[in-house]
Each structure stands twice: as C-alpha cells, then as structure tokens.
Amino acid sequence: MIATGTTQDVGRLLRELAPQVLGALARRHRDFAAAEDAVQEAMLAAVQQWPGEGVPANPRGWLYHVATRRLTDQLRSERARRRREERVVGEVLAEWAFVPPPDGEVDVARDDSLVLLVMCCHPALTDASAIALTLRAVGGLTTAEIARAFFVPEATMAQRISRAKQSIRTSGVPFAMPGDDERADRLRAVLHVLYLIFNEGYASSAGESVHRAELADEAIRLARLLYAALPHDGEVAGLLALMLLTDARRAARVDEYGGLVPLDRQDRSRWNRPAIAEGVALVESAMRRGAVGPYQLQAAIAALHDEAPSTDATDWPQILALYGVLARIADNPIVTLNRAIATAMVHGAQAGLAMLAPLDADDRVTRHHRLDAVRGYLLERAGDLRRAVVHYRSAAERTASIPERNHLLTKAASLESELRAQERAS
C-alpha cells in the first residue's frame, strides 16, 4: 500500500482508472454489461477500503483483480461461463490496421480506454446509442449530462443506454474491434464521442463550475492516442486541433470568483500559446491534404479566434465563410447559432437575428438556453435592450450551469440599469 488519500483523491483516481479496467475486462470476456457491473462493484470496494487502508501500489491491477473475481463469481452463479480469449490489445489494434506511434511516444496498444472507446461503437447500435454508451463507459458522464448533450429527457437517455446494453447482449456480434467493412462508421462515432466528452468538460452543462477539467483533459488524451494511431486521417487531426485550440482559452474563461468570462472580455495573455501553436499546425497540415471535414472546419474557425489580438480585430468575414461551408456539409442548430453571430459581426445584428428565425420551429433547440442567449446578445447589439433582457432572463431559467446562469442574470440586470438611466435622462 502507498499513502492514504482523501475520498476526493480516491474518486479522481477511480474516474481515471475505471475506463481502462472496463476496457480490459470487456475485451477479455466479451460481455460489456457484466463487465461494467463487475467494475462498479470493484470501485465500490475501493471507495470503502482505500481512504482508510491506503491506495495499492498498483491500483489498476487491484481493480482489475477484484472486478475479475466478481465477474467470475457472477458468471458462475448465472451458469453462463463463456470461453475466454486471451488477446493482447496490440494484436486487436493491429487487426484494425492502426499505425504504430513514431519513436514510441505513445503506446496505443497499452491503453484500454481507447480500445473500449472503439469497441463501444458496436454494430448492433445506432450511432446515438453507441455514443451514449461510450460516454458512460469511457467518459464517465452521468445519464443526465448525456441527456443534455443530446437534447433529450434524462429518462429517455436512461432507456437508450439500457437498450444499448441489451442490444449488444442479444446481437450475437462479439464485443470486439471492428473489421474492415465497418471501420469508417466506427471512427465517425468515436470522433463524435470524443467531441461530446470534450464539450462537457470545457463548458459544463450543469453544476457550479465553468468546466470539468478532468473530462476535457481525458478527451484530449484519447484524441492524442487516436491521432498517434491514425496520423494521416484529416478529421482525427482536425478534432485534436479543435480541442487544443479551444482548451487553450480555459484559464481565461473563469474570473477570480469562479464566474464565466465571455470570449470578448477574456485576457488573451492567459491563453495557452503552445497549445494554440500545436493546434494551428495540426489543422493547417490536415487541410492541405485535400478533403475537408467538419472538425477541420471548426478547428480553422477556432484558430482564427485564437490568433486574433481582440474580438474587433478577428477576421469575421473568413469565419463567416467557414461557417457557410460547415453549414453545407454538417448543418445543425448549433452551427446556425454560431453562424448567426458571425453574420451579425459582418453584416449587422439584424442580419444575424433574421438567421435565428427558422430555429423557432426546430424542436432540437426551441427550448434550449443557447437560442435565447444568442438572441439576447444580438438584440443587445441591435440596441433593443428591453427584448434583450427578456431573452437573457429566459436563457438563465433554462440553463443548468450556475456560472452561466449568473452571467446571464448579470447581463440582464446591467441592461435594466441602463434602461432606467435612459428613462431618467429623458
């Protein structure tokens, strides 16, 4: 045993180790649901023992050993013992034609989190179900957080995850790495999963913190592993670049009191310049190869923001042009919201507001706080302060993020104060 740690320290360690242990266990036993139950029992045992007795010298091995014992007991009691296959992760990855990392910088074959990520995107599942399941297994997100990411009720998402596990169990398709005929679809789902994990980490959808650094860091770590394995895939490079360029602003997004600081008010000297340089190099290299995908386009937009000395000096026409291309190949309500802001910066607030009108009939976003927040921002720029206040307050009521709610309420209160001053002056 090593030195004892607090329950919080143990929790952080378990969050990091759980996907690795689950990946190894599921890969070996080919039963995701049973492996997940066993890992949960092992984590419960760790939470009960480690804070008082000390963390084992090899905590991952301890968890794997306990989870394996629990799984073995479970299989024996259910009389459903299956034939076990001993296969090292490197051999499995080789079947998917992964390229070994250069100079031994990253050993993909030793990280079961990445293997689990790919395996969870199972052919028996729809993309949405695969992503939801993987967010739970690898990203550690709660059902509520995943539901917000998909704009569906929590109960709906819980049912989706449960059905996903059942689909894998009854499909007859091994819980294993994909064959040649399904690589592209699996990779697309993997990238989407990493994108959602990062978004939840960089801008938490609920709670008291602006971000959840452990999620953003884990998404970046997995994206690096994937890039080391597939260095010539433009969208893999684009996603890693997007994460680096966005995460580079993390320190400046929070004030000394934990409050949210919007982009136009951030101290850009606090941005992570090495991360920006790495992200810019990645996206420039990827886009020179030819076919451009949505992650590369988003990374290019992020690069323009990061390289600008200020909001006013940002190359908004180029950003607007990139959003136009993105809308043609991967249109969705969030792209429209961001495109409306860029439109307002180039052609004026009224043009941006006009772009929002079709979203009022889009069920995916009509009750989402982002629509009200963007509309409030554009109304403020247009000088319609009273309507801006209404939408800022509506957005505040709909967000589950406390820092974002406080920011929106502060914006509304500031505009109300300005309106009262105007009334007194008149």
Domain assignment present for residue 145? The answer is: yes
* Residue given tokens 């500031």 in the structure block: 414
Question: Can you give the pLDDT at residue 319?
Answer: 98
102 vs 236, higher pLDDT:
236
Domain assignment present for residue 325? The answer is: no
Would you say 344 and 381 are in contact if contact means Cβ atoms under 8 Å apart? yes
Count the domains in the chain: 4
Encode pLDDT of 349-385 as tens digits.
999 999 999 999 998 899 899 999 999 999 999 999 9
Both 110 and 163 in a single domain?
yes
Both 389 and 282 in a single domain?
no
Question: Can you give the pLDDT at residue 91?
Answer: 42
Domain assignment present for residue 94? The answer is: no
pLDDT at 82 over 80: no
Encode pLDDT of 131-179 as tens digits.
788 888 887 778 888 887 666 788 988 888 888 888 887 877 766 666 6
For 332, the enclosing helix (H) or strand (E) is: none
Q: What is the mean pLDDT of residues 40-69?
A: 87
C-alpha 76 chain-centroid distance: 38
For 400, the enclosing helix (H) or strand (E) is: strand 400-401
Encode pLDDT of 339-353 as tens digits.
999 999 999 999 999
Question: Can you give the pLDDT at residue 235?
Answer: 96
Last residue of a domain, one of 82, 117, 136: 82
Last residue of a domain, one of 47, 82, 117: 82
Q: What is the mean pLDDT of residues 215-223?
A: 89
Taking CA atoms, 190 is separated from 86, 130, 184, 187, 281, in Å, by: 25, 9, 10, 5, 23
pLDDT at 393 over 80: yes
pLDDT exceeding 90 applies to what percent of the chain?
47
Q: What is the mean pLDDT of residues 198-227?
A: 89
Min mean pLDDT across 36-40, 61-65, 122-126, 339-343 is at 122-126
Min mean pLDDT across 60-74, 163-177, 241-255, 375-389 is at 163-177
355 vs 117, higher pLDDT:
355
Reference 210, options 128, 266, 154; nearest CA is: 266
Question: Can you give the pLDDT at residue 111?
Answer: 57
Residue type, 272: N
Q: What is the mean pLDDT of residues 185-192?
A: 86
Output the domain CATH number for residue 367: 1.25.40.10
Both 361 and 422 in a single domain?
yes
Sequence-ordered list of residues with C-beta below 8 angstroms from that of 52, at least 6 positions apart, any chain: 4
Both 248 and 226 in a single domain?
no
3-state DSSP assignment of residue 176? coil
Both 344 and 366 in a single domain?
yes
Question: Can you give the pLDDT at residue 180?
Answer: 67
Domain assignment present for residue 96? The answer is: no
Report the chain's mean pLDDT, rounded to a whole number: 85
Both 245 and 156 in a single domain?
no
Domain assignment present for residue 89? The answer is: no
Domain assignment present for residue 168? The answer is: yes
Cα–Cα distance for residue pair 226/223, rounded to 1 Å:
5
Domain assignment present for residue 95? The answer is: no
Last residue of a domain, one of 230, 265, 296: 230
Confidence of residue 19 (pLDDT cuts 50, 70, 90): confident
Question: Can you give the pLDDT at residue 99?
Answer: 38
DSSP-derived secondary structure letter, 82 = -
Question: Can you give the pLDDT at residue 236?
Answer: 95
Both 198 and 212 in a single domain?
yes
Q: List b or e across 310-345, with b for residues whose CB sees 16 or more CB atoms inside 10 angstroms.
A: eeeebebeebbebbeebeeeeeebebbbbbbbbbbb
The residues pairing with 254 across neighbouring beta strands, listed in sequence order, are 260
Question: Can you give the pLDDT at residue 210?
Answer: 93
Domain assignment present for residue 126? The answer is: yes
Cα–Cα distance for residue pair 76/210, rounded to 1 Å:
46
Domain carrying residue 367: 330-426
The bridge status of strand 206-207 relative to strand 400-401 is parallel
* Residue given tokens 């966005």 in the structure block: 246
Question: Can you give the pLDDT at residue 95?
Answer: 43
pTM, two decimals, is 0.76
